[in-house]
Structure 1
């Protein structure tokens, strides 16, 4: 019939549903002031890190070309003072944000990807394979993450990739446990049985049905793990296990310790990178808690 409206395209319907879900998520997220403060701080840190190459060059960070006064206190010319090589602490702080944020995000991606894979596979298949994977997960859980990361960073070569792997390979068990529990809950729903009855294989069920339902939990866990990863990267760099050729907040603290800034009272060498690490970790934690409140109905009802 000519007057009949055309049938909606399935892809258009799916995208409209996603847009409504995102709008509802943002509406609930805005109701959390702490989450908004954390998001604003992260956007500021991200903007500073991305635009750093536009106004900072290699000579400003080079030890050889440094021409400023050594360990000078904050002044109009050097707002955060200088280090023991005469470099501006403000320049080091800005450039160090690139490495600290990059390592934190990459290590979190490795950790969350590994944990989600183990959790989904263990929750879907069950049986002896799930028992073995969960016992391995428990073994990693009882080990101190920092000690294991230090051991890996000591054995492998000193590089950024080593730090990423050392953090990512030690922080995944918590994600695996959470994702497995969520996978078991999803697998118990009726539409999973219908998918199996219609011939859906293991890969189809895990990718098309289980993964979308555990993604909100993975997203919340990711934002919380980034803060832990940034602190772990700073700790490894502070202990001298990072790449000495790159500038990071933890590396700056390690250089300050080696230069005797603590005993000399050169607080401007220690305080800025320490506060930056704390601010970024707090911002990610605030965002993670806000996302968790939005995605978890029980936490929403408790507010």
Structure 2
């Protein structure tokens, strides 16, 4: 207090207030993201894949504006069945007289959505199983990893077909069938990384300071396995899109929606192979191959950035 005034004494020589822990965390995240992007840009194949994915995503998001939401309607189709490519219909028409180009663009919405959701479900299950099996060990880990081994030796597509057959035909069924049958690879990878992380000294210090199982798994293990999970997710999306196309081609998808696999099934039923109508078969097939390749290129680039020892070609 100053004499006679009663005002508090302030330290005019004090410097600026130190940033909070939350501010420092945001700065570190921004710096990490910028460093990741600088490394990612050095991978030419990854940039090509990212550009292709941007085009596919743009086509899917703008489909209601570019081709219209009624493009999949069978009633009132604008053309005649199985027309050849022309100025009016660039890819021709399907067996109902619908514009094939519009159907391919509209089908990207379903194929990408199912691929993303199925991959997210698969990676989530695999991450949960991998972290818990690597952390708890003992009898729990033995039982869980034996179940994982059983899923690994069983053909994923056969299991997905079995699930899709006994359940109702819908997009949710396809997502569930793919997600619950393709997680074992992620679980194996995450468990191995979890074991490596928990062997580090700071995990022992966390336990000594009273850190419980949840604290160690969420605050220490999960952040260290997230780079692996991110790379695995980008690779799983391409596999999920291919699996969705296969199920739809076999007639196990949702018959009320348009997808690339469903278009291939329609082309097969219309006899496009025997009649040589390749404009019906090739576009959805190329779309499936293109988006799967794009996600694979991005996944390999991400994997190389997060783990430079892999030495992936740039």
**Do they fold alike, i.e. is TM over 0.5?**
yes
User: Are 2:111 and 1:96 aligned?
Assistant: no
Asked whether the 8 Å contact 1:59–1:65 carries over to 2, the reply is no
**Which protein has the larger Cα radius of gyration, Structure 1 or Structure 2?**
2
Give runs of ≥4 in structure 1 deviating > 6 Å. Answer: none
SS at match of 1:213: helix
User: How many residue pairs were aligned?
Assistant: 303
User: Are 2:183 and 1:172 aligned?
Assistant: yes
Structural mapping, 1:166-245, within 5 Å: 166-245=177-256
Asked whether the 8 Å contact 2:169–2:252 carries over to 1, the reply is yes
Q: Give the structure 2 partner of residue 291 of structure 1.
A: 302
Q: Give the structure 2 partner of residue 13 of structure 1.
A: 24
CA distance in 2, matches of 1:90, 1:18: 42
Q: Give the structure 2 partner of residue 2 of structure 1.
A: 12
CA distance in 1, matches of 2:90, 2:46: 30
CA distance in 2, matches of 1:39, 1:81: 29
Q: Give the structure 2 partner of residue 82 of structure 1.
A: 93
Cα offset, 1:5, TM superposition: 2.9
* TM-score normalised per structure 2: 0.94
User: Are 2:258 and 1:247 aligned?
Assistant: yes
Gaps of 5+ in 1: none
Q: Give the structure 1 partner of residue 127 of structure 2.
A: 116
Greater helix proportion: 1
Q: Give the structure 2 partner of residue 140 of structure 1.
A: 151
User: Are 2:48 and 1:26 aligned?
Assistant: no
Deviates more, 1:157-166 or 1:189-198: 189-198
Cα offset, 1:293, TM superposition: 0.4
Deviates more, 1:56-65 or 1:201-210: 56-65
SS at match of 2:70: helix
- Give me the CA root mean square deviation: 1.2
What do the CA deviations read for 1:65-87 (whole angstroms, capped 9, x no partner)?
Answer: 11302211111111111111110
Asked whether the 8 Å contact 1:59–1:66 carries over to 2, the reply is no
What do the CA deviations read for 1:82-117 (whole angstroms, capped 9, x no partner)?
Answer: 111110000100000000000000000110000000
What do the CA deviations read for 1:125-161 (whole angstroms, capped 9, x no partner)?
Answer: 1111001000000000000001111011011111111
* TM-score normalised per structure 1: 0.98
CA distance in 1, matches of 2:276, 2:313: 47
CA distance in 1, matches of 2:173, 2:312: 43
Gaps of 5+ in 2: 1-10
What do the CA deviations read for 1:156-202 (whole angstroms, capped 9, x no partner)?
Answer: 11111110011001100000000000001111111111111111111
Asked whether the 8 Å contact 2:301–2:312 carries over to 1, the reply is no
